[in-house]
Structure 1
Amino acid sequence: MMTTARTSPPAPWHRRPDLLAAGAATVTVVLWASAFVSIRSAGEAYSPGALALGRLLSGVLTLGAIWLLRREGLPPRAAWRGIAISGLLWFGFYMVVLNWGEQQVDAGTAALVVNVGPILIALLGARLLGDALPPRLLTGMAVSFAGAVTVGLSMSGEGGSSLFGVVLCLLAAVAYAGGVVAQKPALAHASALQVTTFGCLVGAVLCLPFAGQLVHEAAGAPVSATLNMVYLGVFPTALAFTTWAYALARTTAGRMGATTYAVPALVVLMSWLALGEVPGLLTLAGGALCLAGVAVSRSRRRPAAVPDRAAPTAEPRREDAGRA
């Protein structure tokens, strides 16, 4: 009788860390998608640097309060290099340049160029962190990028575009990728809250030259714009960057970067619900491709089959028995 094989499903308690990481990544993606709607509103009253500083200050205050309540202390010395680099590139430079770039190009062009970021994350992660590039990840990223291109093309023409604006968005994508790859090693030494809190603080310090603009513009800005700026700091920054760091500590940079391809699809949906902007069929198709690619990139192979201990073993052949 031949040996039967069965797959042993992982115990629920073994899957809990994976489920928590997936939940944290989902929170991040949803809040980052909502940020695009808030940036559109706040950006009408605040300049790029002032908006970035106001957002980061709101984030620092929120994160600092939680950090003090949890009494986590200062990050270990080994984590500071990654915290400083991610704070400079991602929390500081990225937010200013992205705000600036989105004022120079239409939404479709910005979405298209910035979505080069996850591809750069995967390549830098493989080069600098030794992350693997499995075929499912590469396939999923290709599908998602095709979806991002589709969304971008469907939204193009809604505003002016310039070469300078494209360069700014490309710099934002590079800074985003560099910040993520720098943050990953820091999470091996410090908690997600520590890395996010002090990274946000570094970014806020970098943006302090815009303090004068922030004070001047806040005096004449409508309440709705200021509330959107505070929302950006509390939720898409303080909360979403912390849940991002929590999930990043439990997976590769490439897989986390691929997850953010769900953002364009959610932005389309939120703009439809919150702003009444009805998407076209091409936009919906692009959003569906983004989500399909994320699903492929996050999927894993089924566990290998293991012998069923309850099944009888195969009887030895005569010639084999004679050799025993």
Structure 2
Amino acid sequence: MTLRDRLLAVVVAVTWGLNFPAIHLTLEQFPPFLAVALRFSLLAVPTLLLVPRPSAPWRWVLLYGAGFGVLQFVFLYSAIDSGMPTGLASLVLQSSAPFTVVLAAALLREHVSGRQALGVLVAVVGLAGIAVHRAGLNGGATLVPVLLTLCGGLGWAMGNLGNRRAMQAAPGEPLRLMLWMSVIPPLPLLALSLTLEGPARIRASFTGLATPTGWTALGALAFTVLVGTLAGSGLWTSLMSRYPAGVVAPFSMLVPVVGIGSSWLILRERTSLAELGWGALVVAGVLLGSTARRRPQPVVPLASGTGVTGTTSAVAIAATPSPRPVSPSPSDVVAEIVTGPPAADESTASASARR
């Protein structure tokens, strides 16, 4: 991984970590369900007008949007609105990783390695430690936001399953899938906001937009949409297309570090040493379960043939460089979103030209 791409991965982690104090600032003006509806509506409208539909089956796109877009953010925004410390939320939301492993094993019959099982166990111990610690504060009232955040992590895990199935059906359309996922949440969340938060609270949230709090909330909302979602996800998708997942994914563990640090700097939130210790255990478990051990390369048997030129050794085979996949350029990514993937002959010609 080049130094430039390492820096890009760090930039993505920083933008995603800054999403958490941005959510807190958004919720100072808007109620949680309405805030999530606004967040995804700003993505859904241009997507419906400009971006072709993905070729993946709709049931997987719906599962992706319902889990990642609706359940995750409904519970996360509700948790922060009800008193969950923003930095701690960025830690507890990492529960999506062990939840994904467990759900994939239970629903998709995916094999769970011993390393993954140990990682899940370590992360669960860390999450349980945070829950027990929060249960002992203020008569247990601080436990509810933790449980809501855990539900958000479970929703994210469900979205991961839908995303995985959709990507299997349409492997060349990650950004388009992400954009069309944003079409799912707005209507159910607007209905939820009207039902539970009420028209009066919704109207009141729009009356103070000219105040400093209102401008700050609008800026934070724009940050989560434009920087956190579009720019962050775009850069992350580009990195994942060029490097193995095991090389790129560990950079996401910087997100809770940035989330805690930025919450302390911007919101003056303090995270106790006990919660930091249990949170470090969660991060360690996620890293343990998500980084695979390198397996030794299989020995290639000698090919038999007549004469010296008809025999190929394993050393020669191993020394032969394999063709490196061509990474999509930014213009290719934009073209793929707006016009769809190129035809097979066009993509082959383009790849040959870049080589």
Short-chain TM bin? 0.5 to 0.7
Contact 2:84 2:142 in 1 (8 A): no
Change (3 A) 1:183 1:96: same
Q: Does 1:135 align with 2:127?
A: no
1:44 aligned to which of 28, 31, 46? 28
Change (3 A) 1:179 1:225: same
Change (3 A) 1:81 1:244: farther
Q: Which amino acid aligns with 2:190?
A: L
Change (3 A) 1:305 1:183: closer
Contact 1:192 1:246 in 2 (8 A): no
1:86 aligned residue: 64
Change (3 A) 1:135 1:26: farther
Give the superposed CA RMSD. 4.2
1:64 aligned residue: 47
Q: CA offsets, 1:133-191, max 9 Å, x none? A: 22222323333444445556667748982786566445433322222111211112331
Task: Name the CA distance, whole Å, in 1 between partners of 2:21 and 2:181.
Answer: 24
What is the correspondence of 1:1-324 to structure 2 with a 5 Å cutoff?
29-60=13-44, 64=47, 68=50, 73-76=52-55, 78-107=56-85, 114-150=93-129, 157=137, 161=141, 168-190=148-170, 191-209=173-191, 210=193, 216-221=204-209, 222-241=214-233, 263-304=255-296, 309=315
The Cα shift of 1:287 comes to 4.3
The Cα shift of 1:81 comes to 1.3
Change (3 A) 1:268 1:218: same
Q: Which amino acid aligns with 2:32?
A: P
The Cα shift of 1:293 comes to 3.1
The Cα shift of 1:47 comes to 0.4
TM-score by length of 2: 0.63
Identity of aligned residues (%): 22
Task: Name the CA distance, whole Å, in 2 between partners of 1:116 and 1:80.
Answer: 27
Q: Which amino acid aligns with 1:220?
A: G
The Cα shift of 1:241 comes to 4.9
Contact 1:56 1:237 in 2 (8 A): no
* Matched position secondary structure for 1:175: helix
* Matched position secondary structure for 1:292: helix
The Cα shift of 1:23 comes to 8.6
The Cα shift of 1:220 comes to 1.0
Change (3 A) 1:94 1:289: closer
* Matched position secondary structure for 2:169: coil
Contact 1:90 1:180 in 2 (8 A): yes
Q: Which amino acid aligns with 1:175?
A: G
Task: Name the CA distance, whole Å, in 2 between partners of 1:136 and 1:36.
Answer: 30
- Alignment size in residue pairs: 285
Q: CA offsets, 1:254-290, max 9 Å, x none? A: x97x986654333222223433445443344344434
Task: Name the CA distance, whole Å, in 2 between partners of 1:179 and 1:118.
Answer: 12
Which deviates more, 51-60 or 147-156?
147-156
Contact 2:75 2:152 in 1 (8 A): yes
The Cα shift of 1:194 comes to 1.5
1:316 aligned residue: none
Contact 2:131 2:143 in 1 (8 A): no
Task: Name the CA distance, whole Å, in 2 between partners of 1:154 and 1:34.
Answer: 25
